[in-house]
Amino acid sequence: MNIVILAAGMGKRMQSALPKVLHPLAGKSLLGHVIDTARTLTPSGLCVIYGHGGEAVPTAFAGDGLTFAKQEPQLGTGHAVMQALPYLDDAVPTLILYGDVPLTRTASLQRLVDSAGSDKLGILTITMDDPTGYGRIVREDGKIVRIVEQKDASAGEKAIREINTGIIVAPTAKLRQWLATLSNNNAQGEYYLTDIIARAVADGVEVVSAQPDDVAETLGVNSKVQLAELERLHQRRVAHALLEQGVTLLDPARLDVRGSLVCGRDVSIDVNCVFEGTVTLEDGVSIGANCVIKNARIGKQAQIKPFSHIDDASVGAASQIGPYARLRPGTILGEDVHIGNFVEVKNSNIAAHSKANHLAYVGDADIGSKVNVGAGVITCNYDGANKFRTVIEDEVFIGSDTQLVAPVRVGKGATIGAGTTLTKDAPADQLTLSRAKQMSLPGWQRPVNIKK
């Protein structure tokens, strides 16, 4: 099939310079959600109608293999679909979606497309308690005969509770003919896509309908209030799917997944955690409260304690991270590594059973196994212009408050005395330290206030 996504609308009520369809829901633009859902239907062509916001919309999806057609000015939904006509293949039907309706499920769209086949017109409809604002589905003897917009509807028609969600599929050659006959002689002075229904009926084309599983699938975003509501609906869906799958969520209402979160068995997630990008939590992982984890893999049985921030990092099995730890991009931790409070690690490899438990900065370092990094240790990786690596071999002990001025290497089994500023390589198995000699002055007296 062809898929056309209408995304030219202006979104005035968003009160934003950003085009409405580029506002994020769960970390991905509204239009991005619609495009991803559309792709699950493997369309032969995917055309986005844009307009408001200049080239921001095509720019946001450059290189994604989509066709963009500009609608300028915006004269209604029918006029919007007309802009896609040069790109449509008449041999297959055309499905029309809205770029600001992000939560439609593939199954509902598939049901609609299946019921319309190649020669019928299909409308995704739903019955609402309060249908105000929507186009009403007018039926005669049970058959759909037309759609009437709220502003054009008679009192009797306004009482109809079955509404047009806006999602329509039509045989393409017919769609072309019907669109050519539209007029804007209506309350809004627009070319209504919905007028094609009456055209189809006049043409003897059967009009069918399908219904989505849930009303959330049809909700559009026109304001920040609605955006926030849909965000919550989406997050609730994600949380429920995780619970069904056996993940323990201490409170499903206090979880935000902005991307894909893959969990093994017996994973537990405490409150107020945010997961972004692609995150994998292997079997038995526990995540403490208030963690932000992005593009990361957390190995089996690892514990991430509260208030930790992990970005583009891999944590080995049975490791313990935090509380208040920060793992920055390029961090790769082996098995049973301990990274404690106020420790920052960046672009570093730390092998099995090593520990940095308190107040340290480990940047651009390769640390072997069974290494102990003391409190307050810092890798001085940056000279203001260049970055250099620090290499710490297996079983090294780095005393507290040591500065390792890179490039520098500490040999296997070495001990570095507390307070050392290491500027040259330290040999294996020896104690290396740089320290001013300690002295005490007998008879020294504290100064007293001489103004008295």
Residues that bind ligand UD1 (CB under 6 A): 6-9, 49, 71, 74-77, 79-80, 98-100, 134-135, 147, 149, 163-166, 192-194, 220
Q: Which one of the listed residues 33, 79, 309, 358 is annotated catalytic?
A: 358
Q: Pick the closer one to ligand UD1 by CB: 126 or 285.
A: 126
- What are the beta bridge partners of residue 182? none
Q: Pick the closer one to ligand UD1 by CB: 75 or 289.
A: 75
Calpha distance 110→21 (Å, rounded): 23
Q: Is the dihedral of CA 301, 302, 306, 308 positive or negative?
A: negative
Q: Pick the closer one to ligand UD1 by CB: 76 or 374.
A: 76
**Greatest alpha-carbon span in the chain:** 113
Calpha distance 319→336 (Å, rounded): 4
Least distance CB 151 / ligand UD1 (angstroms): 8
* Residue matched to tokens 């759609």: 147
H or E element that contains 122: strand 121-127
Calpha distance 337→345 (Å, rounded): 12
Calpha distance 415→418 (Å, rounded): 9
Least distance CB 114 / ligand UD1 (angstroms): 22
Q: Residues 6 or more apart from 121 whose CB is under 8 A from it? A: 168, 169, 170, 171, 174, 196, 197, 200, 205, 206, 207, 208
Q: Pick the closer one to ligand UD1 by CB: 9 or 288.
A: 9
Least distance CB 191 / ligand UD1 (angstroms): 8
Q: Pick the closer one to ligand UD1 by CB: 31 or 273.
A: 31
Least distance CB 90 / ligand UD1 (angstroms): 22
Least distance CB 134 / ligand UD1 (angstroms): 4
Alpha carbon separation from 319 to 92, 312, 327 (Å, rounded): 54, 16, 13
Q: Pick the closer one to ligand UD1 by CB: 16 or 248.
A: 16
Query: DSSP for 126-193?
Result: EE-S--TTSPEEEEETTEEEEEE-GGG--HHHHT--EEEEEEEEE-HHHHHHHHHT----STT----G
Phi and psi of 78, rounded to 5°?
A: -65, -45
Q: Pick the closer one to ligand UD1 by CB: 99 or 316.
A: 99
Least distance CB 18 / ligand UD1 (angstroms): 14
Calpha distance 423→405 (Å, rounded): 5
Alpha carbon separation from 251 to 5, 84, 267, 268, 292 (Å, rounded): 36, 45, 14, 11, 16
338 in catalytic set: no
The four Cα atoms 217, 223, 225, 226 give a dihedral, to 10 degrees, of -10
Residue 424 class from Cβ within 10 Å (0-12 exposed, 13-18 middle, 19+ buried)? exposed
Least distance CB 163 / ligand UD1 (angstroms): 5
Positions marked active-site: 358
